[in-house]
């Protein structure tokens, strides 16, 4: 059994990336589970606040990741880069410093994303590579999933209506799960 965690980098109710995460949970290969993590409730990082204790929302997400075999980041792209709210959550997950090894070191991470623009989070995904490398994560490079023109891909309830995208999503998750399983 391969245990994955998916995290949407958006707080928006009708987020394309949350919809992509939800669709991934439906398009799982046999023998793979996907737990949905959330960045909701994670405050802005502040070292003074850290000194008082790690917030509960951070602790929950850390536990989900440390119990998983691999992680998929479903990232929006804001101003051609990583959304601040998502980067802030990853910054919290790296605190205190000794926790980096448990949460990130050697753990397979994959990056996917959906955006209303034509390039489907290409620049955001590229920016994540440096962050994941710095934290010692194993950034999977087997496939990329960039969903452009996302407003045409999802219906009003956030379900994928584009069969080609649904197949690409299934192939992406399946490929990542196979990579994670091979790492054992």
pLDDT in tens, 40-88: 999 999 999 999 999 999 999 999 999 999 999 999 999 999 999 999 9
* Phi, psi for 108 (deg, rounded to 5): -65, 130
pLDDT 10s digits, 11-21: 998 999 999 99
Out of 3.30.310.160, 3.10.20.10, 3.40.50.300, 3.40.50.360, which CATH number does the structure's domain 2-183 have?
Answer: 3.40.50.360
Q: Whose CA is closest to 52, among 104, 95, 100, 99? A: 95
Report yes or no: 64 and 34 within 8 Å, Cβ to Cβ. Answer: no
Q: What is the pTM of this model?
A: 0.97
* Phi, psi for 133 (deg, rounded to 5): -60, -45
Neighbours of 179 (CB within 10 A): 18
Q: What is the mean pLDDT of the chain?
A: 96
6, β-bridge pairs: 36, 72
Cis peptide before 184 (omega within 30 of 0): no
The tally of CA atoms less than 13 A away on the side-chain side of residue 168 is 17
């Amino acid at each position: 059994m391969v245990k994955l965690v998916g995290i949407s980098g958006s707080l928006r109710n009708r987020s394309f990336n949350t919809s992509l995460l939800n669709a991934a949970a439906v398009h799982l290969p046999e023998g793979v589970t996907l737990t949905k993590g959330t960045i909701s409730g994670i405050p802005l990082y502040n070292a003074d606040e850290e000194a008082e204790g790690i917030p509960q929302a951070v602790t929950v997400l850390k536990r989900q990741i440390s119990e998983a075999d691999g992680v998929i980041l479903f990232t929006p792209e804001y101003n051609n880069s990583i959304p601040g709210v998502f980067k802030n959550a990853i910054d919290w997950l790296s605190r205190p410093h000794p926790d980096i090894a448990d949460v990130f070191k050697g753990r397979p991470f994959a990056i996917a994303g959906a955006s209303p623009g034509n390039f489907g989070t290409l620049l955001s995904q590229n920016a994540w590579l440096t962050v994941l490398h710095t934290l010692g994560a194993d950034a999977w490079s087997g496939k990329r999933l960039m969903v452009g023109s996302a407003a045409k891909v999802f219906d009003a309830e956030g379900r994928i209506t584009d069969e080609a995208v649904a197949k690409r999503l299934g192939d992406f998750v399946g490929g990542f799960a196979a990579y994670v399983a091979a790492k054992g």
